[in-house]
Amino acid sequence: MTSRDGYTWTPSAGLKPGVPSLGVITPKSNLTSTRVEYDVVVIGAGYCGLTAARNCALEGLNVLLLEARDRIGGRSWSSNIGGYPFEMGGTWVHWGQSNTWREIMRYGLQGEVESSFDFEKGVKHFELNTSEGSVTMSHDDEDALLDSALKKFTNVDGVYGRKMIPLPHTTFHNPESVPLDAMSAADRIAQISSKLSPQERAVLEASVLLCSGGTLETTSFHEFMHWWAMCGYTYQGWLDMLITWKFKAGQSNFARQFFEEALATKRLSYAFDTPIQHIASTPSGVTINAKNGQTYRALRAICTIPLNVLSSITFSPPLSPGKQAAIATGHVNQTIKVHAEISNKDLRSWTGITYPHNELYYAIGDGTTPAGNTHIVCFGGQNKHMDPEADISRTKSAVQTLFTPDHYADQTVDIQRLVFHNWSKDEYAKGAWFFAPPGLLSTHLDDMRERSGNVVFAGSDWALGWRSFIDGAIEEGQRAGVEVRREVQGVKGARASL
């Protein structure tokens, strides 16, 4: 099935909206008109909603899952183009990500992952293009450069953040770390700039922006340090946990395991293509109005709508001032992710940073397609933002600019296919994964997590551990599922004893 989401471009077919994916669900609804009230309505079928819906259904609740899109997975989904999974959003997983890995083990997929990197043959180099010029170096030298730069950036306490953020699941466990949330990445770079070589500074800035998708000024230094702590306070951990292991069969195959297990309980009702307009918490439960005019009632709602989208929904009663302030601030991640299929096989072992003059600043060889071509995944963001579908020649040029011809002799970079999802223009995402601007988390993390009457808010954007990651979505889906299941069983137990 083909989702409405995403775009493909090929030389022969040109630009086409829609990408085939295992994540598209048919039929698009299994609702019958008989049920008038559910135990819980889960809004959003990303990993958070899928986890909450599955757990609640397994634990005996009648669940209604509503999703605006035609597919599951939210900000993580994969193509199925000739069987090949280009990852349109969230991609990489690791056993250090507790919630994700536990689900991977649940579905027996622990052997079904592979490394994005393959440095066995081909160019086997890292290409760095900066305002100073263009160089290539070995991947060992790339690692040494990044390790050195990241150590300087993160060493706020003599032990690379271990004292400042000793327990990363309680973000501000050490109150001395709070001032780091008033700082931006630009502020931190200003502190250490005299110690950074030009190459270190370029790769550091590109690496920070690869995490935040914002600008250096809009990136909270504390939130970067939180990621760093989650990765074990090392560059190697950062590589291992953020950008190494991915599913051979793609994210959408993983997400389907949750959906199908929930469906097998026969307690899951669902409707796709059902965006929400209004959520009301009432004394007896919740009332949900969809944009299509339908009304749904339940004892509780779990709302997994991303932070940047919450302003498009009305709530009754109005949300708390703190939550409204967090929504008004929003997160800053406007990552651009473009997959390019390139006929040059030698580029499988290529990685590169081109910064700050290109729309795409960070890219790696990510796989070999069924046609035997090299798959390069490229990242950009707010720094020099573009809408990849707006001008394909500009997008192709941004890919080609990653490769300075001097290093490749007569081998031109021949783009056979582009695949991408414009998360910035996606009305149900309004950005990529959550990344905090300075000040947001130290003032409003609790507000974002707070429930509103019978509506529980859950989502990776305000998870405690791997906030912004699939793992944080599952963390939050579990939390909300347990909370709501206990309450619903309490309500029903009280009714039964009347």
Give how far Cα 422 sits from Cα of 84, 92, 390, Å. 20, 19, 10
* Closer residue to a copy of itself (CB): 115 or 329: 115
Q: Residues 75, 417, 451, 479: which binds a copy of itself (CB under 8 A)?
A: 479
With binding defined as CB under 8 A, does residue 30 bind a copy of itself? no
Q: Residues 41, 48, 63, 113: which binds a copy of itself (CB under 8 A)?
A: 113
Buried b (16+ CB within 10 A) or exposed e, 148-170: bbbebbbebbeebbeebbeebee
Residues 428-467 that bind a copy of itself (CB under 8 A): 464-465
Q: How far is the CB of 362 from a copy of itself (least distance, A)?
A: 23
Q: How far is the CB of 116 from a copy of itself (least distance, A)?
A: 13
Rounded distance between C-alpha atoms, residue 398 and residue 415, angstroms = 11
* Closer residue to a copy of itself (CB): 107 or 408: 107
Residue 298 CB-half CA count within 13 A: 29
Judge whether 121 and 114 are in contact, CB under 8 Å.
no
Residue 215 CA from chain centroid, whole number: 17
Residues 131-160 that bind a copy of itself (CB under 8 A): none
The dihedral over CA atoms of 102, 107, 112, 113, expressed in degrees to the nearest 10, equals -30
Closest to 211 (Cα-Cα) out of 221, 201, 197, 202: 221
Pairing of strands 295-303, 455-457: parallel
DSSP class of residue 436?
Answer: P
Q: Residues 38, 47, 86, 101: which binds a copy of itself (CB under 8 A)?
A: 101
* Closer residue to a copy of itself (CB): 366 or 426: 366
Q: How far is the CB of 236 from a copy of itself (least distance, A)?
A: 8
- Total of chain residues touching a copy of itself, rule CB under 8 A: 37
* Closer residue to a copy of itself (CB): 9 or 462: 462
Residue type present at position 104: I
* Closer residue to a copy of itself (CB): 403 or 466: 466
How many CB atoms neighbour CB 82 within 10 A?
10
Give how far Cα 244 sits from Cα of 28, 109, 199, 279, 415, Å. 34, 16, 23, 39, 24
With binding defined as CB under 8 A, does residue 248 bind a copy of itself? no
Q: Which helix (H) or strand (E) holds 137?
A: strand 133-137
* Closer residue to a copy of itself (CB): 185 or 474: 474
With binding defined as CB under 8 A, does residue 236 bind a copy of itself? yes
Q: Residues 4, 16, 102, 357: which binds a copy of itself (CB under 8 A)?
A: 102
**Residues 6+ positions from 255 with CB-CB distance below 8 Å:** 23, 47, 50, 72, 73, 76, 77
* Closer residue to a copy of itself (CB): 102 or 425: 102
DSSP class of residue 310?
Answer: G
Q: Residues 18, 122, 166, 356: which binds a copy of itself (CB under 8 A)?
A: 166
Q: 3-state DSSP: the chain helix, strand, coil percent, rounded to 5?
A: 35, 25, 40
Q: How far is the CB of 247 from a copy of itself (least distance, A)?
A: 13
Q: Residues 18, 122, 232, 322: which binds a copy of itself (CB under 8 A)?
A: 232
> Degrees (nearest 5) of the Cα angle 101, 427, 46?
20
* Closer residue to a copy of itself (CB): 424 or 468: 468
Draw the binding track, 49-88, toward a copy of itself (x: CB under 8 A; -: no contact): ---------xxx----------------------------
Q: How far is the CB of 396 from a copy of itself (least distance, A)?
A: 35
**Residues 6+ positions from 35 with CB-CB distance below 8 Å:** 62, 269
* Closer residue to a copy of itself (CB): 58 or 392: 58
Q: Residues 23, 44, 168, 285: which binds a copy of itself (CB under 8 A)?
A: 168
* Closer residue to a copy of itself (CB): 16 or 163: 163
Q: Residues 96, 356, 439, 453: which binds a copy of itself (CB under 8 A)?
A: 96
With binding defined as CB under 8 A, does residue 105 bind a copy of itself? yes
Q: Which helix (H) or strand (E) holds 4?
A: strand 2-10
Q: How far is the CB of 48 from a copy of itself (least distance, A)?
A: 14
Residue 341 CA from chain centroid, whole number: 22
Rounded distance between C-alpha atoms, residue 424 and residue 124, angstroms = 33
User: Which of the ranges 69-77, 96-104, 331-339, 419-427 carries the binding residues for a copy of itself, by CB under 8 A?
Assistant: 96-104
Binding site for a copy of itself (CB under 8 A): 58-60, 95-102, 105-106, 110-111, 113, 115, 166-170, 173, 230, 232, 234, 236-237, 240, 245, 464-465, 475, 478-479, 482, 485
